[in-house]
Amino acid sequence: MRLDEITRMVLEVSPQLVDPREASAIVESCGVNDRLANDDFGMPHTFALGEYIFRHNRTAEVLPTDGPEKRASLSFRDEARLAAQKFSLNFAYALPWTLLLIIEYLKPNLLQLRPEWGGILSLSLIGSLISAGGFSQAITRIGYFYIGIKEPQLALRLCLLFVKWGCIACCGFAALGFVLANYFRFFPASYLICGCLNFIMLSALWMFCAMLSVQNRVWRIPLIFVIGGGVFALLRSYFGVIGPMFAANGASVAAAASFSISGFRKLIHTSPQGTSVPALPRLAVLAYMLVPFFFYGLIYFAFLFADRIAAGSATPWASGLSFGIDLQYKQGMDVALFIFLVLAAVVEYMANRFVRLWFRLAEEGTDVREMLRTNYRRSLTVICWVFAVLATGLWLAYHLFEYRVLLTAVLGSIGYFFVALALFNLILLLSLNRAERALTLMTVALACNGVTGYVLSHVFGVEYAAIGLLLGGIVLFTTSHKLIRIVLREADYFYALA
């Protein structure tokens, strides 16, 4: 690799370098370590190389621009393609969820289990989403970054490394959970073993799906669930529910692993740098950079399912269960979660469009504050209209519910609506390198969600656990909205930070 090549790669990632340390961090992320810096470029270490790039190479001199074409907004065709990509990624998860809701509505006895099985499997599912959420965020960031700089081979190695670390961590969580649950006799040992195995398989599944999401082959994600569902349907009539369910999870994990690895290998073969074997960056530096996003994923999924944990803990001890989510509560919250999955697709696209508009206007040197405020209000208005259409369209399902299911569905839908509005603000903060502020706001909102849901579900009834989600969503939106108003008022300063 020549000096002009590494310079171009650094400036493609960050055209406006802030200081030599940023240049050095990007150099290391491109696979250059101290040995390569010395052998290939004659620099004693990567910081010296980053300092050279920062001092002697300016964006206007090294990185050619296309003039007005570079700053122009995307064409309608490109905008539609980007919107389809954002929507398809979220609908890849919403589609299996929708099919499961329809199956449960048409055949409520298909997945009927003993209450003990329902409690342990629900807890393992929620735990897997929370535990794998942090690693999935890290894998997504790694994948997008290294694919963006044309290093799919390095992306594959690092993604698999984080999957391995995630599986090791989840095995540790499962062992710790087994010891504690067995000590306090929450579930029989046989149920705990099955719950731990289900937790580990589902955690691996979510991490491999994160690898697939960065390859723009999102149609494979619903295909994975279709394969698992097919295995379950074939074995259901012969072996009951539990055995086929584990077989379906195993088939889904195997398919996800195969699709994700083969997808990266196709990218490697089509990449102009596919024959090179880049060195791994410093893992300590990489892990340090990904820590905020790891905790963001962890807290984000904990916030989404805190109300279900509170509702499950409100099961009366007289029933003989330590944890069990009420069926009516689950039905109402499943409908609310479906609305959120669709809203999240809209939010991610609108946030991406807002950031692209901001950066394009800033590069043109115009005063962006008033235009950003107007576009911000329009984006929130679009989200509100989409929620209104979804809520109105699902009214046919709402009025068929019993009172408790209806109450839960309404409270959960409004709560997830405020979470979707807050998600728009959180994505903006993450895009502006303000991850620590987003983590602080989410931690406070998570505390409000968990404490309120736990107290109300134990005092007044399980269906009132959704009020915790509602209160947490309102707190998260109001606090993040105040911070975004400050950001838009000082738009130039926060653009420099980004």
pLDDT digits (tens, 9 = 90+) for 375-393: 999 999 999 999 998 888 7
Looking at the chain, the whole-number percentage of residues with pLDDT higher than 90 is 24
Confidence of residue 200 (pLDDT cuts 50, 70, 90): very high
Q: Is the pLDDT of residue 99 over 70?
A: no
Q: How far apart are the first and last CA of the chain?
A: 28
The whole-number average pLDDT for the span 22-50 is 76
Q: How far apart (Å, rounded) are the C-alpha atoms in residues 32 and 397?
A: 56
**179, pLDDT greater than 80:** yes
Evaluate whether 310 touches 465 at the Cβ level (below 8 Å).
Answer: yes
Which pair of structure tokens corresponds to residue 441? 């706001």
pLDDT category of residue 166 using cuts at 50, 70 and 90 = very high
Confidence band, pLDDT 50/70/90 cuts, at residue 420: very high
What pLDDT does residue 470 have? Answer: 94
Helices (H), 45-114: 46-56, 59-62, 68-71, 76-106
- The domain locations on the chain are 3-63, 75-111+291-498, 113-281
Nearest to 411 by CA among 423, 421, 398: 398
Residue 63 has pLDDT above 60, yes or no: no
pLDDT for the residue 87: 56
Question: Residue 420's closest CA among 364, 331, 336?
Answer: 336
Q: Assess whether pLDDT exceeds 70 at residue 238.
A: yes
Mean pLDDT, the chain, integer? 80
Confidence band, pLDDT 50/70/90 cuts, at residue 274: very low
Q: How far is CA 287 from CA 139, 172, 334, in A?
A: 11, 19, 35
What is the DSSP code string of 448-469? HHHHHHHHHHHHT-GGGGHHHH
Q: What is the pLDDT of residues 100-128, one digit of tens each?
A: 656 666 666 666 667 677 778 888 888 99
DSSP conformation letters of 70-89: HHSPPPHHHHHHHHHHHHHH
Task: Tell me the C-alpha distance between 437 and 275, whole Å.
Answer: 41
Residue 244 has pLDDT above 90, yes or no: no
Compute CA 372 distance to the chain's CA centroid, rounded to the nearest angstrom. Answer: 26
Asked if 451 contacts 424 with a C-beta cutoff of 8 angstroms, the reply is no
pLDDT bucket at 461, cuts 50 / 70 / 90: confident
pLDDT tens for each residue of 310-334: 988 887 655 566 677 777 888 888 8
The pLDDT assigned to 335 comes to 83
